[in-house]
A and B are shown apart, each in its own frame.
Chain A
Amino acid sequence: MPDHITPYDTALHRDESAVSGMWLFLASEILLFGGLFLIVLVYSHTHAAGWNAGVRHTSLMIGSINTVVLLSSSAVFTLAVEAARTGDRRRIIHAGLGAAGLGMVFLMLKSWEWHLEFEEHLFPGTNFSISGPNDGGAQLFYSFYFISTALHGLHMLVGIGLILWICDRTRRQTGREISTIPVDIVGLYWSFVDLVWIVLFPVLYLIGRN
């Protein structure tokens, strides 16, 4: 493009800007999930019984496995960040594929869990299976459950896409020196997705279980 002009004089300047841009974007993301967690704050208090009834119906087993899987995925990706610093292309690709693979495992387990929940009629609506005086609160919980896990899942998909993009560009750019910045930025994002789950997990599976 004739009019594509870079606003930067040096690559370092560009990289710094990109990293700070990512941090700012994550701040924005925090507010996105923050709005969602307001729901928890309010309803787990005002509809405690129904909310807790909902929590008791989630699958603690799958949730726990998924937490381990996702934490490992983040840990594996830090290897890619390390490898980018030392310039080891193969390790970036391997670690990236590992992290993305674990991410896929998470998503598959999650969709299995969703499948089970649909079977049990835990999706809010007329066929909702938790009946009794507290079904309102339980339905509120499950509305939150499905929205929050869907939104988190969407972020996972984007993250996996980004990691695969990193692997692909590392594979193709054989000639030049590796730029660590894209790997760092994707790492930031992937850790954020991880962090969201760390907050979601106790809210969806633990608090109010007994």
Chain B
Amino acid sequence: MSWLPEASAHATRIDILLAGLLLISLAVLGLVFGLMTINIIRFRVGSRVPLSHEAVVHKSWRFEIGWTSATLVIFFLLFLWAARLYVVGFQPPSGAIQIYVTGKQWMWKVQYPGGQREINMLHVPMGRAVQLLLTSEDVIHDFSIPVLRIKHDVLPGRYQSIWFVATRSGQFRFYCTQFCGIGHSRMTGTLVVLNSTDYADWLDHTPASGSLATTGEMLFIRNGCSGCHVSGRYASDARDTSRAPSMVGLYGSMVPGPDGRPIRVDSAFLHDAILHGGPARSQQGNYSTEMPSFRGVLGEDDLAALVAYLQTLSPSASSGMGVDAVTPREGN
């Protein structure tokens, strides 16, 4: 039985955190079992220590406050340590390779930006940031990669994101860790971390049905999106946004959210907007047409392609999600 390897700098940091927690736990356990044993030996019935009944009220208060505040301080420090490492997961670096992973009872479908597809296999290059955009076609799954110490639930009808920089080549297992029906334990796969030349080689030798963005562009035309949304390339009326907002430069820009506060357009935003027939309903009054919902019309594969395409219309935008994109973390 081999110990679980660490395949990223983040994994090492998590292991250090776990080691810290383990040390504190062992210290407390030692204290509890030690005191228990000492008490039992010293104060057993028949031992010589005389029995005392006097109340220890003032002393008791001092002890109570002592151990309560000690526990509070230690816990708060642990909380801060762990929270800082967790926040990183919400801050994918710009320029990460975006790979779309779709869960389905009971398999993982993986789509690469170059149009390659595989099932239950995930190839990534070593030393480069990779962002996985996760969604499900049916129930809730969970994508878990123990060697990277990360996992995230995969929900139907929306994107979740995790990211990592693998620093160790090799083959590692990933699992579905949210019970998803009777085939749950078969929903595993292999993560293959390759060095950059091998990765390029692998991309070249894997058949691709056009890049993801190209597929998305075709879907954009075929589903009538281009009828209302300006995408810049087909439009002589490139400034006509009377029917619907322009898609040029939309990705990465800030738009008013449902409560009026600005939110950044990211993959999850676009995905939801396509499914629900436009974002933030309250903001729709300005357009002459109402966007239909594409739920049931477009599958998750199609959505991934469309989102990839829309991103190409904002070449300058960083590819982060959610929280404001940040500069890449050192060495992660």
Is B258's CB under 8 angstroms from A45's CB? yes
Write the chain A residue with the least CB distance to B259: A45
Is B276's CB under 8 angstroms from A136's CB? yes
Interface residues on B, range: 10 to 19
Is B278's CB under 8 angstroms from A133's CB? yes
Is B290's CB under 8 angstroms from A133's CB? yes
Write the chain B residue with the least CB distance to A133: B277
Given contacts A134-B277, A136-B276, contact A48 B282 (CB under 8 A): yes
Q: What is A's interface to B at a CB cutoff of 8 Å? A: 45-50, 132-136
- Complex Cα spacing A135 to B295, Å: 11
B327 to chain A, nearest CB (A): 32
- Complex Cα spacing A136 to B281, Å: 13
Q: What is B's interface to A at a CB cutoff of 8 Å? A: 258-259, 276-278, 281-282, 284, 290-293, 295
Contact partners of A50 in chain B: CB under 8 A:
281
Is B290's CB under 8 angstroms from A136's CB? no
Is B281's CB under 8 angstroms from A48's CB? yes
Is A134's CB under 8 angstroms from B258's CB? no
- Interface-central residue, B259, B276, B278, by most chain A CB under 10 Å: B276
Is B282's CB under 8 angstroms from A133's CB? no
Chain A to chain B: the 9 pairs with minimum beta-carbon distance, closest first: A133-B277, A49-B281, A133-B293, A133-B292, A48-B281, A133-B290, A48-B282, A133-B291, A136-B293
Contact partners of A134 in chain B: CB under 8 A:
277, 281
Is B295's CB under 8 angstroms from A136's CB? yes
B314 to chain A, nearest CB (A): 25
Write the chain A residue with the least CB distance to B272: A46
- Complex Cα spacing A46 to B259, Å: 9
**Chain B contact residues: helix, strand, loop or mixed:** loop
What are 22 residue pairs bridging A and B, where the CB atoms are less than 8 Å apart in the complex? A45-B258, A45-B259, A46-B258, A47-B281, A48-B258, A48-B281, A48-B282, A49-B281, A49-B284, A132-B290, A132-B292, A133-B276, A133-B277, A133-B290, A133-B291, A133-B292, A133-B293, A134-B277, A134-B281, A135-B293, A136-B276, A136-B295
Contact partners of B291 in chain A: CB under 8 A:
133
Contact partners of A135 in chain B: CB under 8 A:
293
- Complex Cα spacing A134 to B278, Å: 10
- Interface-central residue, B278, B281, B282, B292, by most chain A CB under 10 Å: B281
- Complex Cα spacing A136 to B157, Å: 13
- Complex Cα spacing A174 to B293, Å: 67
Contact partners of B293 in chain A: CB under 8 A:
133, 135-136
- Complex Cα spacing A45 to B259, Å: 9
Contact partners of A47 in chain B: CB under 8 A:
281
- Interface-central residue, A45, A133, A135, A136, by most chain B CB under 10 Å: A133
- Complex Cα spacing A136 to B296, Å: 12
B291 to chain A, nearest CB (A): 6
- Complex Cα spacing A48 to B281, Å: 7
- Complex Cα spacing A46 to B276, Å: 11
Contact partners of B281 in chain A: CB under 8 A:
47-50, 134
Contact partners of A48 in chain B: CB under 8 A:
258, 281-282
Contact partners of A46 in chain B: CB under 8 A:
258
- Complex Cα spacing A48 to B295, Å: 18
Write the chain A residue with the least CB distance to B295: A136
- Complex Cα spacing A134 to B284, Å: 13
B269 to chain A, nearest CB (A): 13
- Complex Cα spacing A50 to B293, Å: 12
- Complex Cα spacing A48 to B278, Å: 13
- Complex Cα spacing A49 to B292, Å: 13
- Complex Cα spacing A132 to B276, Å: 11
